[in-house]
Amino acid sequence: MKRRDFLKNAALAGVASMLSFDSWGKAVASGSVAVEQAPDLVAVMGGEPDEMLKKALEALGGIGNFVKKGQTIAIKPNIGWDKSPELAANTNPVLIGALVKMCYNAGAKEVQVFDHTCNTWNSCYTNSGIEKAVKAAGGKMLPAHEETYYKDVNLPQGIRLKSAKIHEAIIGCDAWINVPVLKNHGGAKLTCAMKNYMGIVWDRRYFHSNDLAQCIADSCTYSKKPALNIVDAYRVMKTNGPQGKSLNDIATLKTLIASTDIVAVDTAALKFFNQVVTLPMSEVGYLSGGQKHKLGTTDIDKLNIKRIKM
């Protein structure tokens, strides 16, 4: 697709500003030695969720780099709200269904999907469209609404959060994939990959009363890190997050960002978000907290980034 056609289509979809990720980091240039190496981060723009996922994983060396034959895989989307897909409160169901299929194609024994929801769990699972998509792909939806599903873990690197109860799917899986939706959040300012950890823990009330940003960063020090972080920015809630109020809160940006570096992927997502709504990095405190914990980098200008426009 030509650039002028992409921008025209973006405008028709309700995007007010010109969207670009051309200024992010150090490009992986065609014909260079770096092309033979997997990039640090991949950003895909202009396609449908399943198409962009395929392109991103191809650029990262294939799903087999993250999912091995015979493994049990956990996928953690946002499914926190009893909202339909077009309201972008939850991760896009098409993306999750496609990821489940790809995990099975890579030889996964079982693919489990869950979230510790804010609204009634079975309504969130159903009305988000995620349960239907997961089951159609052969995956399994797990409940997460009772404390018995969570196990105590220590977080020795934590500053505010020294321990937490983590969902048994994360503890027991061979690998897990973190798939947040990018959106505005009243408390944390931005929901993305690090914030998505709040859906794998039981007591989130503690976070809100004990330095939310630091607790988010601390939770990400849990020893079993995601094999991959995939940010859904197909539809983005630019205001009134995390639930949203109407379609006026939503911008259709048709973008996906993926990286093994959880701090970098959130930093890139914030830079992209800033083309729609201005949000200084200093207000997203868990990013600096994650870098201090050495979980990744906010200095994405030093990374090799593969950009794909469909």
Helix (H) or strand (E) holding 218: helix 212-219
| Cβ neighbours of 274 (radius 10 Å) | 14
Q: What pLDDT band is residue 29 in, cutting at 50, 70 and 90? A: very low
Q: What is the mean pLDDT of residues 41-63?
A: 97
pLDDT tens by residue, 86-119 = 999 999 999 999 999 999 999 999 999 999 999 9
Among positive and negative, which fits the CA dihedral 112, 94, 200, 263? positive
Is 33 a residue whose pLDDT tops 70? no
13 vs 81: which has the higher pLDDT = 81
What is the C-alpha radius of gyration for the chain, rounded to an integer number of angstroms?
18
pLDDT tens by residue, 206-256 = 999 999 999 999 999 999 999 999 999 999 999 998 988 999 999 999 999
Closest Cα partner for 37 from 76, 15, 65, 73? Answer: 65
Q: What is the mean pLDDT of residues 17-36?
A: 53
CATH class of 3-309: alpha beta
Report the pLDDT value the prediction gives residue 36, as an integer from 0 to 100: 55
Residue 76 forms beta bridges with which residues?
178
CB 265 within 8 A of CB 258: yes
Is 1 a residue whose pLDDT tops 80? no
Q: What pLDDT band is residue 269 in, cutting at 50, 70 and 90? A: very high
Is 2 a residue whose pLDDT tops 60? no
Report the pLDDT value the prediction gives residue 241, as an integer from 0 to 100: 87
Report the pLDDT value the prediction gives residue 23, as an integer from 0 to 100: 60
**CA count, 13 A, side-chain hemisphere, 258:** 31
Q: What is the mean pLDDT of residues 30-35?
A: 42
Report the pLDDT value the prediction gives residue 248, as an integer from 0 to 100: 93
CA distance 50 to 98: 6
Report the pLDDT value the prediction gives residue 37, as an integer from 0 to 100: 76
Report the pLDDT value the prediction gives residue 258, as an integer from 0 to 100: 98
Is 7 a residue whose pLDDT tops 80? no
Q: What one-character DSSP code corresponds to residue 224?
A: S
Q: What is the mean pLDDT of residues 282-294?
A: 96
Q: pLDDT above 90 covers what percent of the chain?
A: 85
Report the pLDDT value the prediction gives residue 25, as an integer from 0 to 100: 60
Average pLDDT, the chain: 91
pLDDT tens by residue, 153-206 = 999 999 999 999 999 999 999 999 999 999 999 889 999 999 999 999 999 999
Report the pLDDT value the prediction gives residue 242, as an integer from 0 to 100: 93
Q: What pLDDT band is residue 32 in, cutting at 50, 70 and 90? A: very low
CA distance 103 to 209: 37
Is 135 a residue whose pLDDT tops 70? yes
pLDDT tens by residue, 76-86 = 999 999 999 99
144 vs 27: which has the higher pLDDT = 144
* Contacts of 108 by beta carbon, 8 Å cutoff, 6+ apart: 67, 69, 70, 71, 72, 73
**What token pair was written down for 54?**
């395929």
